[in-house]
Amino acid sequence: MDISIVIPLYNEAESLNDLFEWIQRVMTEQQLSYEVIFVNDGSTDASWQVISELQASHPEIVKGIKFRRNYGKSPALYCGFKKAEGDIVVTMDADLQDSPEEIPEMRRMILEEGYDLVSGWKKKRYDSKLAKNIPSKLFNATARKITGIKLHDMNCGLKAYRREVIKNIEVYGEMHRYIPYLAKNAGFDHIGEKVVHHQKRKFGRSKFGASRFIHGYLDLLSLWFLSKFGKQPMYFFGLVGSLLFLLGFIAVIVIGAMKLSALHKGVPAPLVTDMPYFYLALTCILLGTQLFLSGFIAEMISRNAPERNNYIIEKEI
């Protein structure tokens, strides 16, 4: 099969028929074999009924997955990826803001230019500038700096992947924003970008609130840490803990030496426990010990994890 199109959705019943007809028209014109996988993320409207009707009328093309409740976009993509069988897997939103007419060119870039992943770039957006455009630019600038991936729109829903990519990464939590980073960490680092046409929303409203910016920032830090120290947590916790412990230990020795020197000279000296530096030194020793032990425990967990030798082999001869 040429293409699998994975579409996560939540309360998008009004747009599904139009979207499927649009996809069908493009795929027919390009003479491509395809499947459309709708993942209904706990919708409370008639979305599942529409998907069921589409599947009944196009049983060889349409597949549907229904969650019992709303879990989020990442779990929906994860389940859709497991079901996908196409050589190229495309993800897109169900709100008609992503154009299926971009798919053939994204497929060509993967097949002919050798990209592992092609991400869409909504260069001209029709969203609110204050609510989405400016925060999106700040988010993407931060993501480029931390991940080293030069994408203008990392969170764009319209992406195309080689099948090997989506079968070797795990999308969880709210990590759908960073699939290119997950792919890079898995060794699929030939990542491209294509300017795509962004449509105005035809039905309903966006399902994502302001909390996505906070969650996105925290998820980015988590991924960065895991990519750097996920396999060797002791390198981070052990180093920082050892430095803090050493700093505190040296400070205690200096404080003790100052006290002994004063006593030897017969000069009145305050109690060690009356000196603020003593408590700072003690805090450093305690924090350093805790961090070191945390790293040691994390290292033991990592070494006993079943996926500790989970490496992706590209070829064998």
What is the tens place of the pLDDT at every residue in 178-201? 999 999 988 999 999 999 988 777
* Cα–Cα distance for residue pair 144/181, rounded to 1 Å: 10
Give CATH for domain 3-228: 3.90.550.10
* Cα–Cα distance for residue pair 110/117, rounded to 1 Å: 7
Please state, in angstroms and as integers, the Cα–Cα distance from residue 146 to each residue in 120, 158, 171, 175, 225, following that order. 20, 22, 19, 15, 10
Dihedral sign of CA atoms 6, 41, 138, 223 in order: negative
* Cα–Cα distance for residue pair 183/6, rounded to 1 Å: 17
Higher per-residue pLDDT: 65 or 204:
65
pLDDT digits (tens, 9 = 90+) for 107-118: 999 999 999 999
pLDDT digits (tens, 9 = 90+) for 138-168: 888 888 888 889 998 888 999 999 999 999 9
Q: What is the DSSP letter of 102?
A: G
pLDDT at 172: 84
pLDDT digits (tens, 9 = 90+) for 82-101: 999 999 999 999 999 999 99
pTM: 0.76
Domain-by-domain residue ranges, the chain? 3-228, 234-304
Higher per-residue pLDDT: 311 or 264:
264
Please state, in angstroms and as integers, the Cα–Cα distance from residue 219 to each residue in 78, 185, 226, 302, following that order. 17, 15, 10, 20
Percent of all residues in the chain with a pLDDT value above 90, rounded to a whole number: 52
Q: What is the DSSP letter of 175?
A: G
pLDDT at 237: 86
Confidence of residue 218 (pLDDT cuts 50, 70, 90): confident
Higher per-residue pLDDT: 19 or 206:
19
Beta bridge partners of 192: 118
pLDDT digits (tens, 9 = 90+) for 59-72: 999 999 999 999 99
Higher per-residue pLDDT: 123 or 303:
123
